[in-house]
Amino acid sequence: MIVARIQAHPSREVLHDRLTALLQPLPTELLVHESDPPDPWANYKQCLDYRGDASHILVVQDDAIPVLGFSDAVGQVAERWPDTPVCLFMGAFPSSTAARIRRSKPDVRYVALGPSSFMPLVCVLWPTHVARSFLVWSSTARGMTRADDGNAARWMKATRTQVMVTVPSLVQHDDGEPSVKGGRSHVPWQEGWRQALFLADDAFRYDW
């Protein structure tokens, strides 16, 4: 069983019904968080802190757009990787992973996420026991910040945990939405790392 948990911000309320509908028939929970200064990591921890019986937690940002056939494909991914986190979105960074994806053969469905300063967290399928392990590690780890993607990358490196990436991506990142993280502004749909490198048109057509 997979449960979806949406990493949500109140300023994006208009997106929440859209995403919930696109995730059907997966059981879906909306976890809304707001703070000053913005703290994505606090909200991500809430999403990972699942106490139910599902084998996998799908943690997805509220500005993600799942492709056609998403829920069926995610079930196949979970069966293929019962003990490994899988990123269902990949942009142009980390550049080393993006380069491997560009060089991969047409029938390649997964590549390993290479070492980087961040882990793409737009949409990640977490085995529940691995999510719990990540939370336990983070409770005593040094150097944790408000950046959820940076903290996940530190955990990957420190624990030498393998993370896979689907090829192609199963969600698009709605880059037309303003960032809720603060920091520098950006021009929507102009920065490759914020958009899917390759995007499935119908996820169910692929052999996951």
Query: DSSP secondary-structure letter at 178?
Result: P
pTM: 0.93
Domain residue limits, the chain: 2-205
The answer to whether the CB of 81 falls within 8 A of the CB of 117 is no
Instruction: State the Cα torsion 40-43-44-45 to the nearest 10°.
Output: 130
* DSSP output for 103-117: HS-TT--EEEPPP-S
pLDDT by 10s per residue, the chain, length 208: 999 999 999 999 999 999 999 999 999 999 999 878 889 999 999 999 999 999 999 999 999 999 999 999 999 999 999 999 999 999 998 999 999 999 999 999 999 998 889 999 999 999 999 999 999 999 999 999 999 999 999 999 999 999 999 999 999 998 765 566 655 555 554 555 579 999 999 999 999 9
CA separation for the pair 17, 6 (Å, rounded): 11
CATH number of 2-205: 3.90.550
